[in-house]
Amino acid sequence: MVEIKKDEDNMYCFSVKSTGGSLILSSIPFPNKEAIHKVILDLNSMDRHENIFERKTNHQGKFLFNLKDRIGNIIGSSQLYSSEAGMENGIKNTKNSLKSVSSVE
């Protein structure tokens, strides 16, 4: 599930949540909903061989991933995961959630 919210600076952010409501990924701020929609559509049109997910491990050994746009800019970051398998599941859920977005309300 992709959720879009307006922050106190009148910028828009999107978050990806699991079906159970747990936060998977939070985006950077965007100037409007249309910019978010454009980025999501662009991500969905990218060839599956392009690497839009950057897998990382923090200094405490926790796993996380960043979502990148076509030119490599980070547009979102995940929560921390205790296992690599959990992170991979978060990436899978993020892909599925972004593919299901057809319009921005």
Q: Residue 51 falls within a domain, yes or no?
A: yes
Per residue in 25-50, pLDDT (tens digit) is: 999 999 999 998 888 888 877 666 46
Asked if residues 77 and 55 have their Cβ atoms less than 8 Å apart, the reply is no
Asked if residues 64 and 87 have their Cβ atoms less than 8 Å apart, the reply is yes
Is 68 strand, coil or helix? strand
Distance of CA 4 to the CA centre of its chain: 12
Task: Give the total number of structural domains in the chain.
Answer: 1
Asked if residues 101 and 2 have their Cβ atoms less than 8 Å apart, the reply is yes
Q: Residue 23 falls within a domain, yes or no?
A: yes
Q: Residue 104 falls within a domain, yes or no?
A: no
Tokens describing residue 70? 């076509």
Which CATH number does the domain housing residue 18 bear? 2.30.29.80
Q: Residue 105 falls within a domain, yes or no?
A: no
Q: Residue 82 falls within a domain, yes or no?
A: yes
Domain encompassing residue 56: 2-99
- Spatial neighbors of 82 by CB under 8 A, at least 6 apart, are 62, 63
Per residue in 45-84, pLDDT (tens digit) is: 766 646 899 999 999 999 999 999 888 899 999 999 999 9
Distance of CA 80 to the CA centre of its chain: 13
Supply the pTM of this predicted model: 0.85
